[in-house]
């Protein structure tokens, strides 16, 4: 490896396109050019993009292939079919026996219990006839279909998961919870309120429908405006290009840590997830504790940005921001932080700079960010060649992937929580939860450029090029094993976007010193975990470089549970790797081309 030197902000950065890639793009004008395959014809793409409007963006071919794989192998498995018939008969006998015993004894033991995470039938009202029969029949049917769609010899693992997913979606649609006559909680509320709950629910539905048609944010989101109620930590935009604004936050102390903090959030959402209200702002927490903080605020791309790729996000985004930080705070390696996609991009940048022998980072912090995508959670159900080709046709037609399309995909993956449970509570029970800063931020999504999203899904999700050493930067592959800076990794227990066991796989890179934190909560709420937040807990462990690997389950069994937020642990970790304190730098550096341009939160965060 090249001799390590300090990062020089005047040094030319990685080019946006390799010559071969630029020539292919110029010739074909298509993201498929970088994948060494012939692009589909415009007619085929228009046809599939039109079809996507009626399929929620899901590829019928992908679903059909999964179903055909399952159905053909099941048809060729008479033993499995006989086993399913026997299971069905036994479940029927159990159900009849339960129905008979519960008729004379309401406290009769149920013949099947819901899964631990299934809270739909927790109310005692579901123990009363006939609702006890409704929910027991549903759970037995759900269990039988799980048996039917799993364990069929010869079916690929991906097709089995997708078939099981489709069966679960169909069953959840018909759950007795979703209908007034079969839901005792809704019926009790209706009788108690004289139907006012249904009237409120109808009004809620009408408001949501009207806002969806008008592409308006959810009701109440207007109370959380960036720069007014959220994203209010004082600072200045000190750099702007086509892709980012870089915010430097004003110090509150005369002395600050010698090493500045540069945060690269995900560009799938606005940056202020890390600067919400003052009481739960990670940015404010860092500034108050004596850190110089810089934040990347990503542009919300439009159709004109269709050919912006992953290397542009690296060059125009993180590396240009790093140049600015080094100009304003010279001679100090950076404490770099990456959240979700921003963490993956930070890993690529760190590997690239290490390959070039440049010492840019003092520490690296990855928040709910994956580097290995072989077990990337529920989203991987919808990532295969057929689905990606279908998605690329949608983005080719639009120039981007719309935020509503992405939101629909995530809602489908968690339909129990995000679709059906919401429908019951808001439209049948008439109970709308109050809007919060986190909920308002979640509705403030951004678009994904066509080329970037295609490259991201193919190179990382589908092919796992980064972790396996094939991801190219500046025409040559980078290796995560070249990273020398210590890494602080935060994963969350119930993360459906970046499952913690997937995040944990960074431990397979033996050359990195890793401090790993597993905290309670999900992908967003687990990260926004300020001190004093009720019910937060965490586990912490460290694995020094070049020491024995422990699997995630072994680590989990050994790690002790502590109560509280991970933020103080991280702050202590940063302080333990600091050279001490220095005088706080000014906002920007006009002499080096980084004059303040506008007050925080800037303009890009306000783009709709």
pLDDT for 407 equals: 73
399-428 mean pLDDT: 83
Angle at 522 between CA 519 and CA 525, to 5 degrees: 85
pLDDT digits over 176-189, tens only?
999 999 999 999 99
Percentage of the chain exceeding pLDDT 90 = 79
- 34 noted as active-site residue: no
Angle at 381 between CA 375 and CA 385, to 5 degrees: 100
In 373-434, DSSP assigns E strands to 400-401
pLDDT digits over 340-359, tens only?
999 999 999 999 999 999 99
pLDDT for 198 equals: 97
| Rounded Cα–Cα distance for residues 456 and 345 (Å) | 10
pLDDT for 178 equals: 96
Any idea which of 208-217, 346-355, 464-473, 579-588 has the lowest mean pLDDT?
208-217
Point out the catalytic residue in the list 34, 111, 340, 589: 340
7: pLDDT confidence band, cut at 50, 70 and 90? low
28: pLDDT confidence band, cut at 50, 70 and 90? very low
Q: Which residues contact 486 (CB under 8 A, 6 or more apart)?
A: 363, 364, 512, 513, 514, 515, 577
pLDDT for 37 equals: 65
CA 266 to centroid of chain Cα atoms = 9
CA 236 to centroid of chain Cα atoms = 28
| pLDDT at position 78 over 90 | yes
pLDDT for 412 equals: 76
Q: Which residues contact 569 (CB under 8 A, 6 or more apart)?
A: 517, 538, 540
pLDDT for 35 equals: 52
487-499 mean pLDDT: 95
Give me the domains of the chain, ranges plus CATH numbers.
Answer: 235-606 (3.40.50.1820)
Mean pLDDT (the chain) is 91
Phi-psi region of 30 (alpha: psi -120 to 50; beta: other; left: phi over 0): beta
pLDDT digits over 266-321, tens only?
998 899 999 999 999 999 999 999 999 999 999 999 999 999 999 999 999 999 99
């Amino acid at each position: 490896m090249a001799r390590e030197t300090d990062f020089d902000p005047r040094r030319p950065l990685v080019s946006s396109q390799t010559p071969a890639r630029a020539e292919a793009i110029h010739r074909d004008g298509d993201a498929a050019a970088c994948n060494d395959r012939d692009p589909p014809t415009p007619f085929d793409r228009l046809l599939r993009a039109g079809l996507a409007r009626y399929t929620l963006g899901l590829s019928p071919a992908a679903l059909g292939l999964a179903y055909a794989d399952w159905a053909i192998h099941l048809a060729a498995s008479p033993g499995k079919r006989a086993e399913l018939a026997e299971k069905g008969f036994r479940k029927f006998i159990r159900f009849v026996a339960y129905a008979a015993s519960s008729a004379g004894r309401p406290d009769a033991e149920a013949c099947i219990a819901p899964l631990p995470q299934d809270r739909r039938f927790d109310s005692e009202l579901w123990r009363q006839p006939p609702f006890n029969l409704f929910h027991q029949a549903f759970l037995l049917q759900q269990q039988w279909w799980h048996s039917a769609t799993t364990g069929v010899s010869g079916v690929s693992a991906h097709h089995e998961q997708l078939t099981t997913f489709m069966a679960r979606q169909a069953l959840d649609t018909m759950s007795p919870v979703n209908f007034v006559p079969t839901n005792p909680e809704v019926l009790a509320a209706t009788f108690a309120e004289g139907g006012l709950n249904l009237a409120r629910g109808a009004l809620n539905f009408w408001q949501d429908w009207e806002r969806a048609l008008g592409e308006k944010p959810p009701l109440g989101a207007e109370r959380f405006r960036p720069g007014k109620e959220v994203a209010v930590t004082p600072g200045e935009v000190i750099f702007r290009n086509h892709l980012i604004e870089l915010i430097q936050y004003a110090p509150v102390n005369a002395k600050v840590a010698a090493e500045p903090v540069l945060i690269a959030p995900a560009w799938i959402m606005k940056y202020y997830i890390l600067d919400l209200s003052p009481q739960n702002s990670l940015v404010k927490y860092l500034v108050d504790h004596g850190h110089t903080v810089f934040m990347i605020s990503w542009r919300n791309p439009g159709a004109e940005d269709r050919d912006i790729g992953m290397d542009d996000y690296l060059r125009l985004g993180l590396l240009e921001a790093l140049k600015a930080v080094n100009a304003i705070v010279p001679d100090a390696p950076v404490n770099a932080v990456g959240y979700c996609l921003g963490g993956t991009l930070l890993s690529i940048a760190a590997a690239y700079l290490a390959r070039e022998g440049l010492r840019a980072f003092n520490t690296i912090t990855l928040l709910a960010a994956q580097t290995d995508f072989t077990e990337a959670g529920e989203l991987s159900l919808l990532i295969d060649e057929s689905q990606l080709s279908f998605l690329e046709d949608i983005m080719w037609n639009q120039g981007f992937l719309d935020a509503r399309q992405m939101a629909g995909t995530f809602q489908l993956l968690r339909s129990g929580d995000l679709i059906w449970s919401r429908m019951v509570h808001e439209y049948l029970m008439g109970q709308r939860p109050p809007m919060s800063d986190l909920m308002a931020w979640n509705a403030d999504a951004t678009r994904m450029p066509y080329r970037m999203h295609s490259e991201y899904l193919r190179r990382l999700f589908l092919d796992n090029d980064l972790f396996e050493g094939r991801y190219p930067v500046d025409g040559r592959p980078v290796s995560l094993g070249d990273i020398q800076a210590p890494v602080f990794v935060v994963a969350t227990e119930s993360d459906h976007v970046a499952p913690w066991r997937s995040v944990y796989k960074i431990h397979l890179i033996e050359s990195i010193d890793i401090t790993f934190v597993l905290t309670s909560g999900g992908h967003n709420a687990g990260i926004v975990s300020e001190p004093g937040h009720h019910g937060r807990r965490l586990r912490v462990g460290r694995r020094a470089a070049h020491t024995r690997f422990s699997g995630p389950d072994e680590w989990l069994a050994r790690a002790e549970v502590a109560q509280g937020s991970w933020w103080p642990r991280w702050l202590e970790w940063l302080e333990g790797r600091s050279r001490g304190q220095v005088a706080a730098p000014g906002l920007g550096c006009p002499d080096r081309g980084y004059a303040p341009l506008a007050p925080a939160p800037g303009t890009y965060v306000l783009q709709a």
